[in-house]
A and B are shown apart, each in its own frame.
Chain A
Amino acid sequence: MPHLAVEDISVYYPGQQRPALTRASTYVKSGEFVVLVGRSGCGKTTLLNVVAGLLKPTDGRVRIDGETITGPSADRALVFQNDALFPWLNARENVAFALKLRGVSRKDRGEMADRLLGLVKLDGFGDKQIWQLSGGMRQRVGLARALAAQPAFLLMDEPLGALDALTRERMQTLLLDIWAQSKVGALMVTHGIDEALLLATRIVVLAPGPGRIIREIETGFGRRYVEGETVRSIKADPAFALARADIEDSIFEGETV
């Protein structure tokens, strides 16, 4: 079972006095769904980029099963807020691109890509051009592409941030379904507290100035959905509202609003 450890990460951006992130430590195990929340400027996206290997930390290291990472790799595929798909390829080819990088033979790619598109409920959309798809569909293609890399850890940077509320709700349950099936360790950044509560097995709260981790909370609402409870009844549970108030308190601690 792969174990991703974030150890004492500090990040200073050039030309800035205060660190974007200071001495952040946490971990993600496979089968976990860890969500980073916090106000803007708290360094949550910075932390995600460090884990992805796209940003070298000034201090500290990220280790997977004890091995320090040196850069981006397919075992930590990243899903972006703006899908970052390749518009010169159709939906199937976008997914197949990740398969190609993984070394899947040309003749197997099409079939596997279609199966992955089916997993994100896009059966029959393989031939569609990217610009013909809606925002939610594009995001799902992006998700299928990331899954095609067979990552041990699925990293997501506000993947549902650009979607409308209704699409977002459907995407949340889709994410849970896929996470439950694939057994990946998920690490996601969001600014939606409800979203964090619904999806996470553990919520990591960050605070700005300087960016740092201030709290970690184990939650179980996502697991309850996976075990068959409806989103509606989960959200109606008073425990959900209590947890939300608790997290809001942490996020806005010290603020006089």
Chain B
Amino acid sequence: MTLSVETQRDIAELRGEPAASPGRRTKAGHLWSTRSISLGTIALFFIAWTLVAYFRLVSPVFLPSPLAVLWKFYTVATSGFVDATLWQHLSASLLRVFAALFFSLLVAIPVGIAIGISRIGRGIFDPILEFLRPIPPLAYLPLVIIWFGIGEPSKILVIAIAMLAPIAISTASGVRGVSHDRINAAKTLGASNIQLVLNVILPSATPSILTGLRIALGTGWTTLVAAELVAATRGLGFMIQSAAQFLVTDVVIMGIFTIAIIAFILEVGLRRLERWLVPWSGRE
């Protein structure tokens, strides 16, 4: 929510308008800024939830109160749920996602570059990616388990496969979009093909690669729950799944919020990373 507000503010700043501040009348003449409307929506949601829970319109077994969920954050964080604390579940999940991201980057960036710079590369990898891209991870999860067992590598592999296509495709489109002048300039300065890839094409494609990374993290994070359904003993997906089996709804909701909060933090982190790595993007 806040992120979309940020985008709008960026656009307003590009137009030379100052950022809207909540409460006051904005430059465009609106009484409410978009940010305050969003905050209002969130507040309304929590008030409605609290009222429904308070008047027991729905049984607490199905819809615990916000306070009960908040309390669960505390108890699971301190004493744990299904043999692990919230932090242990969380770190198990994060470790899987980031391990998968690491391996996926290792494969997908070179593949993307190959697709982007060479006809042969495109011929080889395009069909593979187009085959993998539309398949939901849950569909190939059983096959991965048959081949690689139920251990940690299988979970990481499933997430990594899900991340492969978005990173490779973004990398390829970034590589194809590199300005010809830039490549030709490097060539007439005497750059070899390898120098061209490392010093010109790769940096030029970085904004695009980061976009792919952002999509991949989203995909990875959603695949996580699926990957943790099978024979995991730790992880947010596993925690939610086991809580659901025992109808511990407050833990389910708490888990969902944890996933949402982490996704939000990752998104903000990626924006930071973008600003730090490619401050030039969009300013040329």
Which residues of A come within 8 Å of B, CB atoms?
A: 52-54, 71-74, 76-78, 80, 82, 84-88, 97-98, 101-102, 129-131, 142, 145-146, 148-149, 155
Contact = CB atoms under 8 A, between A and B. Distances in A.
Contacts of B185: 78, 80, 84-85, 142, 145
Interface residues of B, number: 21
A52 B184 contact: yes
Contacts, number: 72
Nearest to A77: B188
Interface in B162-199: 179, 181-182, 184-191, 195, 199
Contact of B181 (A80, A131, A145, A149): A80
A102 B185 CA distance: 14
A53 B188 CA distance: 8
B23 to A, nearest CB: 35
Interface stretch (B27-35, B220-228, B275-283): B275-283
B129 interface: no
B283 A131 contact: yes
Contacts of B199: 86, 97
Given A87-B284, A101-B195, A76 B189 contact: no
Given A54-B184, A72-B184, A131-B284, A84 B189 contact: no
B76 interface: no
Nearest to A76: B188
Given A84-B179, A87-B280, A101-B186, 20 more contacts: A73-B190, A74-B188, A74-B189, A78-B188, A80-B181, A84-B185, A86-B200, A88-B203, A88-B206, A97-B199, A98-B189, A101-B189, A101-B195, A102-B190, A130-B280, A131-B280, A131-B283, A131-B284, A145-B185, A149-B188
A97 B200 CA distance: 10
Contacts of A98: 189-190
27 contacts: A52-B188, A53-B187, A54-B188, A71-B187, A74-B189, A78-B188, A84-B179, A84-B181, A84-B184, A86-B182, A86-B203, A87-B280, A87-B284, A88-B206, A88-B278, A97-B189, A101-B186, A101-B189, A102-B190, A130-B284, A142-B185, A145-B189, A146-B188, A146-B189, A148-B189, A149-B189, A149-B190
Nearest to B179: A84
A55 to B, nearest CB: 10
Contacts of A101: 186, 189-191, 195
B188 A73 contact: yes
B258 to A, nearest CB: 36
A101 B182 CA distance: 15
A78 B184 CA distance: 8
A77 B189 CA distance: 6
